[in-house]
Structure formats: C-alpha cells, structure tokens
Amino acid sequence: MMRGKIMLHRVTSRRRIAGTLRAVVAANFVIAATASAQQPTPAAKPPAAPKPATPKPAAAATPAPATPAIPGAAQPMLLGQFGDWGAYAATPGGRKVCFALAKPANSSTSPPNRPRDPTYIFISSRPAEKVKDEVSIIFGYGFKPNADANIEIAGANYAMYAQADGAWVKNAAEESRLVEAMRKSQDLTVKGTSAKGTSSTDVYSLRGLPQALDRVGQECR
C-alpha cells in the first residue's frame, strides 16, 4: 500500500514538471538550430574599385534568441552548464523546482535504429514537497504497464519503476546511494524495453554532474 502511494506521488510530481522539461528540450533544439543557421558563410571577393556611395545608417544588431515560450509550461532558467550537465530552475504551478539534466552520450536499440523521442535523465529537487535529488529518466518511448527499467553503475544495479515514457528508482531508500555513486563515477548505463518490444541501452556521461548538483542545491535549499 505504501509503495503504491509513493509511486502515485512520484507520477503526479513528474507530470507537474513535465511541461518544464519539454520547455528545456524545445529550447535546446531551437537554440541549436538557430546557431547552425547563423554560422558565417565565406565572404565573396569584393569587386574592384567600387564607386563611392553615401553611407547608410548602421542597422540595429539582431538580438540573441530567447528561450522559446511554450504554452502552458513554466519557462526554465539555466543556472549554469557544467560539462555534460545543465542546472535549471523553474516554478511550475508556483512551486520552485530545480534540476540537473543531461542527454545520453551514446544510445542504441535492438532491433537497431528504431525511432525514439528525445531521451533525458534529470535529478530534481522540490523544496515545497521536501524532495531532494530524485532521479528520473525520460526514455523517449512508452512502456508496457507494470514494466521495469534498470540503471547500471559502478558494478551495481538499480531497478526502476516505469510509467508512460518515464522511470524512477523503485526503492526510494536506494536513491541517495545511487546519486552518491553518480557523483563519483564516469558514466552510467540505462536499459529499458518499449511497449513494442524494442530494447534500448543509453550511456550517460557524468562529467560535470557534481558541480551541477551543487548549483541545484544552492538554488533549491
């Protein structure tokens, strides 16, 4: 009974901040696309002996792209980028949320090359709910009901409870030990199986995670 209440609380909390995570994902793709579009092209060789012309007023500089507005989502604020991890803060529903977020350094599926939505791992703190360093993963596909996933790190395995396209550490008592192992390790591996039977293996770099978590801790005490 208690396990069911804990899982229901986690699912409800995850849904509350799902809009914030989607805003971060959208911002990452928009900013990356904008940066690519604004790459300078080689200048053409100027024509010889151009005729003098009356100078025109300089055009105003184009402002840097802002984080895109996502309807219905609380816009996240980047606190800092630390290695492969970003630290963010937002206030969905008027409650402050801080989280460290990263995407996989390497992903594979079996059968190979199966399509997936963006995949992320994030570690969140929600002071109003007295939640600190909760590990969550967005898998980029839906799970079968009652399916499990798994984290492998430093020779240890951590079972995860899956719901929709997300997963959380099944045994909450193990979460602090997992986060401590993540602070000390180079990478971790996450495995899961979609509702269609596709197995996935994602490897996350942990470079910069300790600094990102420290920054999150400063913002959400």
pLDDT by residue (tens digit) across 150-204?
999 999 999 999 989 999 999 989 999 999 999 999 999 999 999 999 999 999 9
Q: Which of 138, 96, 135 is nearest to 213 (CA)?
A: 135
For 132-145, write each residue's pLDDT tens digit.
999 999 999 999 88
Q: Which of 43-47, 80-84, 85-89 has the lowest mean pLDDT?
A: 43-47
Q: Contact, 188 vs 202, CB < 8 A?
A: no
Burial of 66 (0-12, 13-18, 19+ CB in 10 A): exposed
pLDDT at 122: 93
Span 2-36+74-219 CATH architecture = Sandwich (2.60)
pLDDT at 179: 97
**Which residues are CB-contacts of 49 (< 8 A; sequence separation ≥ 6)?**
none
pLDDT at 188: 97
Burial of 3 (0-12, 13-18, 19+ CB in 10 A): exposed
pTM for this structure?
Answer: 0.74
